[in-house]
Amino acid sequence: MSTIIELKDVNKTYRMGDAKINAVCNASLEIKKGDFVAITGPSGSGKSTMMNLVGALDLASKGDIFLDSKNIEHLPESDLATIRGKKIGFVFQNFNLIPTLTALENVALPMIFQNVPADARKERAEKLLKDVGLGHRLEHLPGELSGGERQRVAIARALANDPEVILADEPTGNLDSKTGKEVMEMLLNLNKQGKTIIMVTHDLNLAKMARKIVKLKDGEIER
């Protein structure tokens, strides 16, 4: 399998007043196409910072990050936004759905920024929602959906532009155990279909479902 994401000696430092916080230290990581990787570690270990770096949401203070062999550290924000839109789908713990948009409109939204025509957006959004078992909830607002249903909408939205990589940040964190298991099964099925899954979690039981576990401690990769 070819490499889709690579970090080389990456450091991320934040400044808070006069203090410097080293959130990620000398991280080198290689993720292959089709991998299912769990990034785990205690609170404050650098998991969220690592996800932001891997997902091109943030740039390193030092080191290089490659996505499909392109060094994203030297790209302008407009190019980064395009790459994020096409290559990476995001699933968040808090769902991050727009409350005034229906499930259908939430899923269609990322396609607007890729200039997909309106009819094609609607058709694909409907198909994706049906694929995640929500064909009967197309016109419902997020506030009218359960937590599990909202996370399914979020997964459908992440798939809107058919990205190669799904980044899931604590995807079961706000769900009960039964619904969380269903969401994990969806991610595992997406992985079987060839999607690269990168999941950030503090739950070791969830991490064990991945093919590879990356453990962080104090911003460093332990193993």
pLDDT in tens, 74-106: 888 888 888 888 899 999 888 999 999 999 999
Cβ atoms of residues 169 and 197 within 8 Å: no
Q: How many CA atoms lie within 13 A of 170 on its CB side?
A: 15
Cβ atoms of residues 145 and 105 within 8 Å: no
Question: Mean of the per-residue pLDDT values for the chain?
Answer: 91
pLDDT in tens, 33-71: 999 999 998 888 888 899 889 888 888 999 999 988 889
Cβ atoms of residues 87 and 66 within 8 Å: no
| Amino acid 199: pLDDT | 95
CATH code that applies to domain 31-59+75-221:
3.40.50.300
pLDDT in tens, 20-32: 888 999 999 999 9
| Amino acid 137: pLDDT | 94
| Amino acid 223: pLDDT | 64
pLDDT in tens, 106-142: 999 999 989 999 999 999 999 999 999 999 999 999 9
Structure pTM? 0.91
| Amino acid 70: pLDDT | 86
The encoded tokens of residue 223 equal 């193993």
Distance CA 123, CA 125 (A): 6
